[in-house]
Structure 1
């Protein structure tokens, strides 16, 4: 399942460079599906929503770092475990119960974001 960052985040910046999917953003930062992915133009997310991959989306938080669930694969296809969780000094990154996904679905999302 995708991960999320709680309000216990101290905005230390440790997690952001660890994410192979560019799913982690700074507080108050706009984001797009195309950021550091192969996505471009109109695409359908793994959850079936049609979006413009190039459009800028509103920040999900203006106070602490946030994870875009549709871009989070828990590092499947890159690492054995989520790298952001490993480097977080305050243990504020947890599974997002709203995005229950199997390992197979996470690997499919990785291919959707980056190709084979």
Structure 2
């Protein structure tokens, strides 16, 4: 499942450099996660690095983009092969 950044985001700028897939960007000062690039850090880390650094815990699973661990691993493989 891809992740999403909720409205609780304080735009602290910590999450974009942590994302190994470059899935986090800012549009008009609002951070968003590109579901097509988000693997929840599968293939890179044991847990999503953006969630680890978020001081207000505003990053959560995106119910609109449900994916299994196998699907996330396949997405990672497709991006890096």
Q: What is the TM-score normalised by the length of structure 2?
A: 0.95
Hey, what's the Cα distance between the residues in 1 that align with 2:10 and 2:53? Answer: 13
- Asked if 1:103 corresponds to 2:57, the answer is no
Greater fraction of residues in helix: 2
Alignment of structure 1 residues 1-116 onto 2, 5 Å: 1-26=1-26, 28=27, 62-115=28-81
Deviation at 1:9, TM superposition (A): 0.7
Aligned length: 81
**RMSD (CA atoms):** 0.8
Distance 1:63 1:8 in 2: 13
Structure 1 residue ranges (4+ consecutive) displaced by more than 2 angstroms after TM superposition: none
1:7 deviates by: 1.0
Q: Unaligned stretches of 5+ in structure 2?
A: none
How far is the alpha carbon of 1:63 from its aligned partner?
4.2
Gaps of at least 5 residues in structure 1 are 29-61
